[in-house]
Amino acid sequence: MDITDWSITLLGAGTFSPDGFKFAAWLEGELVIWDLSTGRLASALPPVAGALPGPIAWSPDEQAIAYLLSESDCPRGLTYLVRMELADLHATPYLASQDPSFAEIQWLTPNSVTLTDENGQNWAYNFITGELAHSTP
């Protein structure tokens, strides 16, 4: 909500950075990043045309963001794991998967994200090796 004119803007799948000073969310098909003190920092279109925006996760060092895209809502069908470097807003799709389709993402350790599929199973994806493997919660 903009407190100057009380207008409301709907955001999708937003999340705060680990330090709590930045926020990333989907706005009209773009990934937008805000500094909570100074305002909008940047925005970028996803690298897969026509895909639906999904959950977002910040890297532990706040230098990158990973997010999911999917071809549909439910079931999600083909899902994409994308990593965007904040220094240049370059977004790279790292994984495309339909079996399993992914619904959630967490980024707690460097170079590896935890993905949760539509059946609630957890998977680990390593950005360096490209390996996707079952993991424990």
More confident residue, 9 or 74: 74
Listed in order, strand segments (DSSP E) in 28-89 are 30-35, 39-44, 52-58, 64-70, 79-85
pTM of the model: 0.90
Q: What is the pLDDT of residue 75?
A: 79
Domain spans of the chain?
12-134
What is the per-residue pLDDT across 72-87, written as a single tens digit (0 to 9) for each?
Answer: 877 788 999 999 999 9
What is the per-residue pLDDT across 13-70, written as a single tens digit (0 to 9) for each?
Answer: 689 999 999 999 999 889 999 998 998 899 999 999 999 999 999 999 999 999 999 9
Q: Hey, what CATH class is 12-134 in? A: mainly beta
- Give the position of tokens 């994409």: 80
Q: The tokens of 45 are what?
A: 């279109």
Q: The tokens of 116 are what?
A: 């949760």
